[in-house]
């Protein structure tokens, strides 16, 4: 682990097996970018807007704005991304999508 990495990223690297920035550990975040569990926990902590009315009752969805601190932790976030959408499927998988200022995937 590189000492120059932000502590939040170091913790994610300890918590998940990953390759090329994607989680390879089996489970809810499998095949997602390392930033997905980070933004998921921010959503649970109340940062962002819930969009539960846009999805089936068995699912959940949040939109979380990207801050400068988030970009420091995850420099791989797209330069034109202004927020991240976190979606929990009915089967429990958690997915993240970067959105631009118009709400379109980047």
Q: What is the pLDDT of residue 28?
A: 96
SS3 content of the chain, % helix, strand, coil (to 5): 25, 25, 50
Where are the extended beta strands (E) located within the chain? 18-19, 22-23, 49-50, 60-65, 83-88, 94-99
For residue 62, the tally of other CB atoms under 10 A from its CB is 22
Contact 81, 49 (CB under 8 A): no
Q: What is the pLDDT of residue 49?
A: 86
Q: What is the pLDDT of residue 72?
A: 95
10-residue mean pLDDT profile of the chain (106 residues): values are: 76 94 95 97 91 65 95 96 93 95 93
Q: What is the pLDDT of residue 14?
A: 94
Would you kindly state where each structural domain of the chain is located, as residue ranges?
Answer: 7-99
Report the C-alpha gap between 11 and 13 in whole angstroms: 5
Please choose, from the candidates 91, 96, 94, 93, the residue with its C-alpha nearest in 3D space to the C-alpha of residue 64.
96
Q: What is the pLDDT of residue 2?
A: 52
Contact 37, 88 (CB under 8 A): no
Contact residues for 78 (Cβ-Cβ < 8 A; gap 6+): 98, 100, 106
């Amino acid at each position: 682990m590189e000492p120059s990495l932000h502590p939040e990223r170091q913790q994610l690297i300890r918590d998940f097996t990953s390759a090329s920035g994607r989680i390879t550990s089996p489970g809810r975040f499998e095949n997602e970018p390392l930033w997905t569990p980070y933004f998921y926990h921010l959503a649970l902590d109340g940062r962002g807007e819930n969009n539960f009315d846009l999805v089936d009752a068995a699912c959940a969805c949040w939109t979380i704005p990207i801050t400068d601190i988030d970009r420091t932790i995850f420099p791989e976030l797209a330069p034109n991304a202004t927020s991240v959408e976190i979606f929990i499927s009915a089967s429990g998988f958690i997915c993240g999508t970067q959105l631009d200022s118009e709400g379109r995937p980047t």
